[in-house]
Chain A
Amino acid sequence: MATFRILVTGGSGFLGRAVIKALNEKHPTWTIDALDIHPPDEDIRQIIDQFFQIDIRSEASVKAAFSNYHPDLVVHTAGIVTSRELRYSTKDSDWQRVKAINYDGTVHILNATLAAGCTRFVYTSSVTAIIDDLDHDYHNMHEDTTPTGLATLHYGRSKGLAEAFVLSPSNAQRGLKACALRPCTVIGPDDTQVLSLLHDLIAKGETHFIIGDGHNLYDWVYISNAVDAHVLAIENLLPGGAGTAAGEAIFVTNHEPAYFWDFLAFVWAQFGHEPRVRVHVPVTLAVVVAWVLEVLTWVTGRRATLDRGSVKDGYRTHYASPEKAVRVLGYRPRVGLSEGVRRSCEAFKRRLEEERRGMLKGEEG
């Protein structure tokens, strides 16, 4: 059986860690290396062979790491996810920071990969490359027909630029076989962003409001399914694989589009919270209120919880067709969405409990 050397960038992150573990489990004979700005946890350290602690923004240090290093395939999951108010930021300084990591970082890694003689590359793009264009609905979007380059938020814009670079014809001419996976919002037991954001809304008393008619569908994906898609793409591109994923962008979702507000309500229900009433707020009213709050934020300098971006995120229809992922990768989610939410919320509850105990102990001490 063939054995390969795989490099996973972002190997200390939420997705990268899980990809390393899954690869090791499925292909114990393969050698796995990791690259990250942060050192890996102990469990990852035991699996991997080499570790590069590198800031991908620096071209020189990326080049140095690859100077005498020849992997068979590079999985580039490293990146910055803008969450909370940073997601809707319009500041140029924020854009420069996001772009430096997500776009420049990808360029550095890909160039170094090719320079090292490796031509196989799996890029963790994002569905936001399309849907961070909050001015349009995307119903059942298909990779082959949905336009890119319309995203306006920093995150989606940077991911879209990087994806276009990875899949560009000039790189293909250099012999690159690259696949861009576009996961939607990933949830999982180790996730620290999505659930905490939704959980905070309970305390803020903001769970009663539904913006628009509430019939807007949205996609999520459970971590192990997103990882499955990565493993399938890696196997597809390596020698012996079908090779059909080369040059393709593929949506990675749970193939279970659910109504946006239903998903939120289901998460809240896991924490024993049920909104007593559901108030439907007309879209225009919500946008106006959000705009006023934005102005107040600008005047007072205090953070508001609502802005036009989050309003639009709440009423837009954004979900993808499963067709290409099934056809090209043979990807089918193995863990259902509701099971995924239950597992993730259980883990989150345990963490909250630990934090609470830790705080109590701190007080005693």
Chain B
Amino acid sequence: MPSLRSVAYYLFHIQELRSIVQWTVWHEAVHERDESKESENLKECFRLLKLTSRSFAAVIQELHPELLVPVCLFYLILRGLDTVEDDMTIPLSTKEPMLREFDGYLDDETWNFNGNGPDEKDRELLVKFDVVGREFKSVKEPYKVIIKDITKRMGNGMADYAKNAEHNEKGVNTVKDYELYCHYVAGLVGEGLTRLFVEAGLANPVLLKRPELMESMGQFLQQTNIIRDIREDHDDKRYFWPREVWSKYVNSLPEIFLPENKEKALHCQSEMVLLALRRAEECLFYMAGVKEQSVFNFVAIPQTMAIATLELCFQNYAMFERNIKITKGAACSLMWQSTQNLQLVCDVFRKYARKIHAKNKPTDPNFLEISIACGKIERFIETIFPTQTARTLPDAGSPPPADVVAPVVLTPEEQEKKKQEDAANRRDMLIVFGAVGASLLLVSAVMLGVAWYFGARFDLAFKSIASGNLRPNELLAEAQKLKEAAASATASAAEGVKDEL
């Protein structure tokens, strides 16, 4: 049931309500899962997917059949890894080797794990992980290789962080460290997915030659989440914002939440937003290389959500007080636009870049840098979809004058054919004119008939015209005279009646 508050909200944001209706009623999946052909084991995998992912479950289930299962399993495997890393109740001595050996568990159809703390929200996934292992066995070999490679590298990266006492104590130090962390948890996902897309022939292989593009795809999403989740992470005593950035504004990251540091918090926030925003250009570049519609939807939806979230956070102090997220209406509108084509996605990016630009304040230390980052997004879009002006359009022009048109020479057969065609054309023309004339006559007759039926005096009109009186003024005057005469006649008649009474 929608809350009273959301009812009130959508009453004043009809556009967003429209988006929700539009998305829920009109969205058609490019590909749909065929549950009748799925084994019980696979169905269980999809159930776990829906259990563990709010945002990705829908887009994964609409993926091209070739990649549907591999990507679903890829997601569950990485989620499993994440569930081990996240759980602070697992001792490091258990956790570290588990993370490093996780790719090996994929070959063991019976492996599962019961050691998560009772509060871990995705506990069930690891308890039943053997279903993932069983399904993974039948995945095509090339996909297996990619998934295992990424799992291995991500597991090792996470293990390094888990072991790194300094990181645990002080959080992320430099911007480089921050980007490295994002690389392990998101950049690698981008790489794995891109390799799967290219392997399946659904994306341009050139994407693999420009690794910075797929890296930016992951970085943009992860950095946006890290910015937005600052409050939630603070409540959990975890910090991902790099010291190199926040130390310019506060002495320790928790101080950023103090009311007296409000302005500094916003300055720090815009520097973080700037770091993410600089990735947007490469994200658009990447999406231009995706061929297949369901893959495009799969990569575009999270990206447009991210730029909208970034805009929501920018210059918004509420981000430091509570968990903020874009409204359901806005999300539906974004999903709608992200499931059409690159141009609409570019429009979304331009729209939010301009919104960020409009909120940008000259007193902010990164004011001009943010303006330039937005400008570069606009410039990049301009390289794919140039703004057309009257001058860049080819001149439609007027047809050349008759005398410059070369005379056409026809063979006798063609002449004969042309004659017949001309005759047919003339006939058609006559029929059309005849039909129009007949309709006009009919309509006029009907109108005149109706007028006569209601008492029009055509006889008087004809008489008047016949007597040479063609001007309506005189006709009117005559009518007036007649009317007066009639009135006086009536009056005298009335007098007569009165007298009689």
Give me the interface of A with B, judged by CB distance under 8 Å.
Answer: 136-137, 139-140, 147, 214-215, 217, 256-259, 262-263, 265-266, 268-269, 274-275, 319, 321, 336-338, 341
Contacts and interface: CB of A to CB of B under 8 A. Distances in A.
A258 B362 contact: no
Interface string B368-400: 110110111011001100110101000000000
Contacts of A336: 369
Given A139-B386, A140-B382, A256-B375, A268 B391 contact: no
Nearest to A323: B383
Contact of B372 (A258, A269, A275): A258
A338 B365 CA distance: 10
7 shortest interchain CB distances as A-B pairs: A262-B371, A140-B382, A265-B362, A338-B368, A257-B375, A266-B368, A269-B362
A215 B354 contact: yes
Contact of A140 (B363, B386, B391): B386
Contact of A266 (B357, B367, B376): B367
Given A265-B362, A269-B363, A337 B378 contact: no
A265 B458 CA distance: 80
Nearest to B367: A266
Contact of A147 (B354, B371, B374, B391): B391
A76 to B, nearest CB: 30
B389 A263 contact: no
Which of B354, B358, B369, B379 has the most C-beta atoms of chain A within 10 angstroms of its own C-beta? B379
A353 to B, nearest CB: 23
Contact of A136 (B357, B376, B383, B389): B389
A214 B379 CA distance: 16
A256 B367 CA distance: 13
Contact of A269 (B367, B369, B386): B367
A338 B383 contact: no
B386 A259 contact: no
B360 interface: yes
B368 A139 contact: no
Contacts of B379: 140, 217, 257, 319, 321
12 contacts: A214-B358, A217-B378, A257-B372, A257-B375, A257-B376, A258-B372, A259-B374, A262-B367, A265-B362, A268-B362, A274-B363, A319-B375
B360 A321 contact: no
B382 A259 contact: no
A221 to B, nearest CB: 13
Main secondary structure of the interface of B (DSSP, over half): helix
Nearest to A342: B368
A336 B369 CA distance: 9
A259 B374 CA distance: 9
Nearest to B350: A215
Nearest to A264: B362
B121 to A, nearest CB: 43
Contacts of A256: 372, 375-376
A259 to B, nearest CB: 5
Given A258-B371, A262-B367, A269-B367, A139 B360 contact: no
A258 B379 CA distance: 10
A201 B371 CA distance: 21
A256 B386 CA distance: 18
Contacts of B367: 262, 265-266, 269
A258 B382 contact: no
Nearest to A273: B362
Nearest to B360: A262
B391 A259 contact: no
B362 A139 contact: no
A334 B387 CA distance: 29
Contacts of A259: 357, 371, 374-375
A213 B369 CA distance: 20
A136 B362 CA distance: 28
B387 A139 contact: yes
B267 to A, nearest CB: 13
Interface string B150-193: 00000000000000000000000000000000000000000000
A263 B374 CA distance: 13
B393 to A, nearest CB: 13
Contacts of B391: 136, 147
A217 B375 contact: yes
Contacts of A215: 354, 357
Nearest to B372: A256
B386 to A, nearest CB: 7
A262 B375 CA distance: 11
Given A257-B372, A263-B371, A268-B362, 8 more contacts: A256-B376, A257-B375, A258-B368, A259-B375, A262-B360, A262-B362, A269-B362, A337-B368
Contacts of A341: 368
Nearest to B363: A274
A269 B367 CA distance: 10
